[in-house]
Amino acid sequence: MFLTCEGTFGIVPATMDYNAEARPGDFHAGYQEIEGINLGYLQINGTQMFALAQVLSDLFKDIPRTTISKKMETLKIKSRRCDLKELRTLKAINSVPTRAVKCSLISKADLEALCTSCKS
């Protein structure tokens, strides 16, 4: 399995079984442009998950975090904490700072709902 990166960011190898089949719990990473900004994502169990830190710093940089938190609460958007392997992958694709010790993830569907809510 390889980390696939859309765009010009290259390809970063991930773990691979000897028979080249994905193991349960494996994921891959890439980049997707949302609202004109390239955001790194992890594809976990068929769902694109984005680092909330990057979403806040790059996509919603002009909106106060308290406003985003209130909108997430209103929309019943839950974030999930990533594990160490996922955190290292997000660091490798520069979605979170290398000094980060934890990270939360938000699904693409929730991110789209949040974007729509922030526009109105």
111 occurs within a structural domain: yes
Q: How confident is the model at residue 102, as a pLDDT?
A: 93
Q: How confident is the model at residue 119, as a pLDDT?
A: 81
Q: Which domain holds residue 43?
A: 28-119
Count of alpha carbons within 13 angstroms of residue 95, beta-carbon side = 32
Instruction: In whole angstroms, give the CA distance from residue 79 to residue 49.
Output: 9
Closest CA to 108 of 60, 43, 59: 43
79 occurs within a structural domain: yes
The CATH number that applies at residue 110 is 3.10.260.20
Question: How many structural domains compose the chain?
Answer: 1
5 occurs within a structural domain: no
Q: What is the pLDDT of residues 23-79, one digit of tens each?
A: 556 789 999 999 899 999 999 999 999 999 999 999 999 999 999 999 999 999 999
Q: What is the pLDDT of residues 73-111, one digit of tens each?
A: 999 999 999 999 999 999 999 999 999 999 999 999 999
44 occurs within a structural domain: yes
